Amino acid sequence: MNRGELTRIARAMVMKNKGILAADESTSTITKRFAGIKLESTEEHRRAYREMLFTAPGAKDFISGVILYDETLHQKTREGVAFPTYLENNGILPGIKVDTGAKPFAQFPGETITEGLDGLRERLIEYRKLGARFAKWRAVIDIGAGIPTSFAIEANAHALARYAALCQEQDIVPIVEPEVLMDGAHSIERCEEVTENVLQTVFRELFAHRIEFEGMVLKPNMVISGKKASNRATPEQVAQASVRCLKRHVPPAVAGIAFLSGGQSPTEATMHLSLMNNLGPLPWPLTFSYGRALQDTALTTWSGQSGNRTAAQKELVRRLKLNGLATTGEYASKMESQAA
Ligand code: 13P
């Protein structure tokens, strides 16, 4: 393990004014997204879509890294340049999703365990050769009647820590992503309680597995009301609860925190990040690692038509720019109508 290299990469991933583009949807997830624009999910359509995103003029000013899916890591631009090489040449760190998905957790109805540890060392060695500098593993915790159980939280935290240790062994920075879903009708208080438990358990396991906190990035959910809650918390409440929760459970040595968007609208996700950055000084840089909140508008604008490519790229860069401003707390909602 090369501590200096891990720290250097982790810091570059969370530098101010930039964030991480999560474009690591599995084939089944991107197929669902394409269904929304009535586009068949062929390998070429998936390649063309990812190429549209990665080559957007100006995007590199606001992207520190891109999380890729296995298929995309092996694909090329129209000019025949492998995507990881293209990104690296543009000063963007290529990353790779390495878990194989959240599967039903036997004996724990309604809960999942994330799989993918078998053969992971060998896959990481291969991914590093192909250019990956960081990796991602997502654990999923749902809130509902009687769930999450502490055992499911522990099992997922244990797997996250084993993954993180294998990454650091191969000089790959682990993004540690324990996602508490915002799908239910729960209150922000319930989300905070569960997120506190999850983060505390995850950091206990990371410490036990001898993880170098300086060489990792945490990708958490924000502390937020469930999407179906009748009384949704305000953006200020989300920012305050999220920062409070993170300060209580995330060691200052962690290189940085890059949030997932988790089903928030693009504008909500940007506003929350900006408000959190205004609550500083904070022990770590706070940035974005959004999937849907960065891609949604670009995807619908593109709709699989090459004629819409430039317009879609503009939408992506507009969103990136606003999130870049949110990393320093300089975003304001009035910019939504201004930013070109
Ligand atoms: P969302 O921002 O759409 O939640 O995706 C981020 C991600 O990488 C989920 O694993």
Give residue 339's pLDDT.
54
Q: What residues flank ligand 1, with Cβ below 6 Å?
A: 22, 138, 177, 260-262, 290-293
User: Of how many residues is the chain composed?
Assistant: 340
Q: What's the CA angle centered on 23, arms 300 and 181, to 5 degrees?
A: 90
The Å distance, Cα 283 to ligand 1 centre, comes to 24
Answer yes or no: are the C-beta atoms of 60 and 86 closer than 8 Å. Answer: no
Integer Cα distance of 53 and 312 in angstroms: 8
The per-residue pLDDT for range 269-315, each reduced to its tens digit, is 999 999 999 999 999 999 999 999 999 999 999 999 999 999 999 99
Alpha carbon nearest to ligand 1 atom 4, residue: 262
Q: What is the 3-state secondary structure (H, E, C) of 314-330?
A: HHHHHHHHHHHHHCCCC
Give residue 80's pLDDT.
98
The Å distance, Cα 262 to ligand 1 centre, comes to 6
Integer Cα distance of 295 and 132 in angstroms: 22
Give residue 338's pLDDT.
78
Both ends of the chain: CA-CA distance in Å? 44
DSSP 8-state assignment for residue 306: G
| pTM reported for the whole predicted model | 0.98
Catalytic residues: 177, 219
Give residue 86's pLDDT.
98
- Which single residue is written with the structure tokens 């964030």? 19
Alpha carbon nearest to ligand 1 atom 5, residue: 291
* Cis peptide bond N-terminal to 235, omega within 30: no
Contacts of 193 (CB under 8 A, 6+ apart): none
Q: Determine the residue type at 151.
A: F
Mean pLDDT by runs of 10 across the 340 residues of the chain is 97 98 98 98 98 98 98 98 98 98 98 98 98 98 98 99 98 99 97 98 99 98 97 97 98 98 98 98 98 98 98 98 98 85
The Å distance, Cα 240 to ligand 1 centre, comes to 22
